[in-house]
A and B are shown apart, each in its own frame.
Chain A
Amino acid sequence: MSDQTRRDLLRRAALLCGSVASASLTTRLLAGEDPRALVTTATFTERQQAAVSRLSDMVIPPTDTPGALAAGVPDFIASVVGHWYEAAERKVFLEGLERLDARSRERGLQDFAAAGEALREELLREEEQLAISPTDASGVAQSVPRFFTQLKELVVFGYYTSEVGMKQELAYLPMPGYYDGDYDLSKVGRQFVH
């Protein structure tokens, strides 16, 4: 398999969301394993997938440039939660999604993804408040970041390292050619990334 095909397959495997149990996808890929063999069950149920899509665009919405959903961030989140996270982290994340759905049903009778914008905002703000406190309800310090912290990190990292985020929202500069450490910001109006 050429490296290019391998990379493509890997991306597709990530898009299809492979097995949750896989301890170290990268190791297996580097050992030459066919990424297609790693694809078994999906990371998220349809309901969870819908919530993640909503949440992605709530953190980074479309403005004059595309938002996180259009940048493919939900797929990135599925691959990280499914294959990169450790079990304890995955648990916190999936519980967070469950909590959002449960609270949404309590107050609006619908799943989070189907709830109105105002309610979704309110629920996510509550999650943000929860994440500010370093201890849980019983006063125990948390070793794994809270759901909101996880979500925000995933969306931010996924978006600003995506092709859309780097090329459209920020100024992608893979091959500068020269160095100018006294460059007028107004000429580009955003941060350069590589």
Chain B
Amino acid sequence: MSDNAPQFDAIVIGSGITGGWAAKELTERGLKVLMLERGAMVEHGIDYKTEHMPPWEQPFHGKPPRALYDEQYPVQRRCHAFNEGTRHFFNNDRDNPYASDPQGFSWIRANVVGGRSLLWGRQVYRWSDLDFEANSRDGHGIDWPLRYRDLAPWYSHVEKFIGVSGQAESLSHLPDSEFLPPMDLNVVERGFKHRIEQGYPDRCVTHARVAMLTRPHNGRGQCHYCGPCERGCSAGAYFSTQSSTLPAARATGNLTLKSDCVVEGIDYDPVTRRATGVRVIDANNRRRSAFTARLVFLCASTIGSTQILLNSRSEQFPNGLANNSGVLGHHLMDHYTGINGFGMVPGYEDKTIYGWRQAGLYIPRFRNLDDRSQSPDFVRGYGVQGFAFRLGWQSMAAQTPGFGADFKRALRQPGPWGIMLIGFGECLPYRDNRIELDFKRPDRFGIPQVKVHFAWGENERSIGADFLQQAGTMLESAGVQGVRMTPNSAVPGMGIHEMGTARMGDDPTESVLNRWNQAHDVPNLFVTDGACMTSSSCVNPSLTYMALTARAVDYAAAQLQTGQL
């Protein structure tokens, strides 16, 4: 090996959902891979310190230390999965700050090996051409450089590996996955499904589609319904880097994983017009070093990846690597969510729920599918997640006055049934919703902080209003009582589906990446996380990121083999 030979075939930046997939697919093709992760190591099982820990063993029985949250986790604390059982996986906001407009953008992120794959809600839905053609149909944003048929085999490839439980419905706008048996709906959800499908022949209520195992799969155990998945699952019943892609990549013998390793920038050689490697900072001792490789896969999450590109400036790319188009950082999207409907379901008092299932029901998009479902007020649409449950002692205690034996008796039984519907609206790609770097404000590593500008548009608000109206009517028509809808306001970022900022497209003058997630300007650089997204659909995006990653690796490895790269 000559002195100039790169140290690795490929460097993967980030070890979350997409980084894990990139590492697995690259190593399985025989490539020597270095995976770099800014966060600390979390080993499967061993480091799930709070798994199965009962409340009485936790400090203050798990009550959140509020002063600590105020001081160090003001953003992360907004996330429903953030608590004393999971805090050690999350980013510390005081140590890793960013800025945003006054209306605020919540950047919810992990800071460990595995990234948000440890914390995510695991809902997975395929996109369809309703999504891939949306931009070209209504003129918002640029056209996607690919269609459903290009991605379909890669969805299958990913699903067979991760294991997706769900119910086939043969809907053209929400294609079925390769399914394991679905997680059951409970008795109240079944009743709701029946009434909605009777009252609205054009709407479908199906089982949430989730990357959780309802039977053993690829050496991983099935779900035992213990409840708090986000603490980590040593059975490997849900898809995470640790349970799935990391062991596969390690098994090849081709993976080197470095944790506590913050990527500062990507180096570029103007002569070969290639990325040559990456510059890193040791998170513990701040020492700088560099690694070289023939390929770079950027999988540091939407904002994280674009931060690295914007910070990789050179004479050729004064505004950020691979940014000849000038669109890098622009068209940030998230889902319009936090809009809910809730009410009480009469009856079913003799029934309860055995087991803690982190799934529920899903109502696929029913707006703007055809002439009949066309809305005059907005383009695109929304999907609805929901679940029914019996109120527990917390809610009952708040509603039950007094104290003593009667009070205690009233709390022993489960409370009445409630049902919750949560809307997820598609967000249009707006040029002004963007991230930039504040070069005057470096973080503790000397890396310029991210600054986020984000505001919802009229279309998102109209989608929210329609959801609130439709969901309210659906709940009432299903016999739900005391229906309460939240105000029509979504907090930017809280969809935790941030995407865009390095979009794909066929035209290099208006996009950063081509149809293979390859940078137009730097052929051996691939960005396969949410940054690549050209539009946002209304379904959860991570399955699509995985499929795009696997497809991009297949392409890159072939290019490498044939000497094109």
Residues of A within 8 A of B (CB): 3, 7, 10-11, 14, 23-27, 29, 58-61, 63, 67, 76, 79-80, 83-84, 86, 124, 128, 152-153, 156-158, 160-163, 166, 169-170, 172-186, 188, 190-194
Q: Which residue of A lies closest to B188 (CB)?
A: A181
> Which 5 A/B pairs are nearest by Cβ-Cβ distance?
A181-B186, A179-B355, A176-B355, A161-B55, A191-B414
Nearest CB of A to B46, in Å? 11
Q: Which residue of A lies closest to B187 (CB)?
A: A182
Q: Would you call B354 an interface residue if the criterion is a C-beta within 8 Å of the partner chain's C-beta atoms?
A: yes
Nearest CB of B to A148, in Å? 9
Q: Which residues of B contact A61 (CB under 8 A)?
A: 404-405, 408
Residues of B within 8 A of A (CB): 49, 52, 54-57, 59-63, 65-68, 84, 183-190, 223-227, 349-357, 390, 392-394, 397, 401-405, 407-409, 411-414
- 10 A-B contacts (beta carbon < 8 Å): A84-B60, A152-B397, A161-B56, A175-B224, A175-B226, A179-B225, A180-B354, A181-B187, A185-B350, A185-B352
Greatest chain B CB density within 10 A among A3, A128, A176 is at A176
B390–A191 touching, CB < 8 Å: yes
A180–B68 touching, CB < 8 Å: no
B404–A183 touching, CB < 8 Å: no
Q: Which residues of B contact A191 (CB under 8 A)?
A: 352, 390, 392-393, 412-414
Nearest CB of A to B302, in Å? 30
Nearest CB of A to B202, in Å? 26
B59–A10 touching, CB < 8 Å: yes
Q: Which residue of A lies closest to B60 (CB)?
A: A84
Given contacts A176-B226, A191-B412, contact A76 B351 (CB under 8 A): no
Greatest chain A CB density within 10 A among B52, B65, B352, B402 is at B352
Q: Which residues of B contact A60 (CB under 8 A)?
A: 403, 407-408
Given contacts A170-B412, A174-B54, contact A182 B351 (CB under 8 A): yes
Q: Which residues of A contact B405 (CB under 8 A)?
A: 61, 63
Q: Which residue of A lies closest to B50 (CB)?
A: A3
A84–B65 touching, CB < 8 Å: yes
A157–B61 touching, CB < 8 Å: yes
Q: Which residues of B contact A153 (CB under 8 A)?
A: 397
A190–B351 touching, CB < 8 Å: no
B52–A174 touching, CB < 8 Å: yes
- How many residue-residue contacts, CB under 8 A, span A and B? 161
Q: Which residue of B lies closest to A162 (CB)?
A: B56
Given contacts A169-B412, A170-B412, A185-B352, contact A26 B59 (CB under 8 A): yes
Given contacts A179-B184, A180-B353, contact A63 B56 (CB under 8 A): no
Given contacts A10-B59, A174-B226, A194-B227, contact A184 B401 (CB under 8 A): no
A92 to B553, CA, bound (A): 62
A156 to B395, CA, bound (A): 11
A174 to B66, CA, bound (A): 27
Q: Which residues of B contact A170 (CB under 8 A)?
A: 393, 412
A193 to B226, CA, bound (A): 10
Q: Which residue of B lies closest to A13 (CB)?
A: B59
Nearest CB of B to A119, in Å? 15
B354–A194 touching, CB < 8 Å: no
A80 to B287, CA, bound (A): 42
B226–A156 touching, CB < 8 Å: no
A66 to B438, CA, bound (A): 59
A157 to B185, CA, bound (A): 30
A27 to B349, CA, bound (A): 43
A6 to B560, CA, bound (A): 52
A63 to B408, CA, bound (A): 9
A169 to B49, CA, bound (A): 27
A186 to B403, CA, bound (A): 25
Given contacts A169-B412, A176-B226, A179-B357, contact A161 B57 (CB under 8 A): no
Q: Which residue of A lies closest to B84 (CB)?
A: A26
Q: Which residues of B contact A157 (CB under 8 A)?
A: 61, 63
B54 contacts which of A156, A163, A180, A190 (Cβ < 8 Å)? A163
B355–A163 touching, CB < 8 Å: no
Given contacts A177-B225, A178-B225, contact A185 B54 (CB under 8 A): no
B61–A188 touching, CB < 8 Å: no
B352–A188 touching, CB < 8 Å: yes
Given contacts A161-B55, A175-B226, contact A24 B65 (CB under 8 A): yes
